[in-house]
Amino acid sequence: MKNIVLYGAPGAGKGTQASLLAEKFNLVHLSTGEMLRAEVAQGSPLGLRVKAIMERGDLVGDEVVLSLIDKALTANLTGEPLDEWDTHRRQRAIDEGRPVAERIVPSIIFDGFPRTVQQAQMLEFVFSRRRMKLDAVISIDVNRDELIRRIHERAAISNRADDNEATIRHRLEEYEEKTRPVLDYYKVSGLLISIDGGGEISETNTRLSTLMEHILAD
């Protein structure tokens, strides 16, 4: 089992790339952003608490995010389906009349988490309690003008409430102020690997796939 963090500023494509890598390499994809958006869509008590925070482009509190991650890690280690691919793999085996093999705990790709140095330190504590470790931190590097262009393009398609002009700039500022230091934190530990995220989705995915093959093979 490997634990890999995929980083990138808003618009870098980390969500798309994490989904592609999860499908290709049979990974569990943990996106705190998607988890939180699901809570908002469901109108859960947690969703109601974080809705306004997310719409402003602010970061949700560390305790809330860590509780989601801790719950997901528990599910992964106890064999509960964690994401759509995990459920799909099992159902496909059943539909094809194949025995459902004993579940091997899959590797995890964390999408954009941890987002602050404090979250990184808290994650280390959670991992230590479970005798787990972080194996690699991958940063998708894209220049600022391209990030803004991509987010505008995504906003026109997805109609996400947090993809308006003011929120876009605020989220990029939040990334530089609070998340960029996390990369420096992991660089010191020797876990950080940076890749070029410019160009087409397929080009970035090829670079990431080559890197993932090496990480998962170790």
From first CA to last CA, the distance across the chain in angstroms is 11
Q: State yes or no: pLDDT of 8 exceeds 70.
A: yes
Question: pTM to 2 decimals?
Answer: 0.76
Phi, psi of 97 (to 5 degrees): 75, 20
Query: Please, where are the H alpha helices in the chain?
Result: 14-25, 32-42, 45-56, 62-78, 84-95, 117-129, 144-158, 165-174, 180-189, 201-217
User: What CATH topology corresponds to 3-217?
Assistant: Rossmann fold (3.40.50)
Determine the Cα–Cα distance for residues 116 and 184; give it in Å rounded to an integer.
11
Task: Please report, rounded to a whole number, the percentage of residues in the chain having pLDDT higher than 90.
Answer: 33
Q: What is the pLDDT of residues 96-139, one digit of tens each?
A: 776 655 556 788 999 878 888 988 998 998 888 888 899 999 99
Determine the Cα–Cα distance for residues 188 and 192; give it in Å rounded to an integer.
8
Least confident of 24-38, 67-81, 119-133: 67-81
Task: Please report, rounded to a whole number, the percentage of residues in the chain having pLDDT higher than 70.
Answer: 87
Burial grade of 137 (CB within 10 A; 0-12, 13-18, 19 or more): buried
* Token pair for 102: 């004993």
Q: State yes or no: pLDDT of 87 exceeds 80.
A: no
Mean pLDDT highest for which of 7-11, 29-33, 39-43, 112-116? 7-11
Residue for token pair 């809705």: 51
Q: State yes or no: pLDDT of 143 exceeds 80.
A: yes
Which run of H or of E encompasses 109?
A: strand 108-111
For 116, other C-beta atoms within 10 Å of its C-beta total 19
Domain edges within the chain: 3-217
Q: What is the pLDDT of residues 159-218, one digit of tens each?
A: 665 556 777 788 888 888 888 899 999 999 999 999 999 889 999 999 999 999 999 997
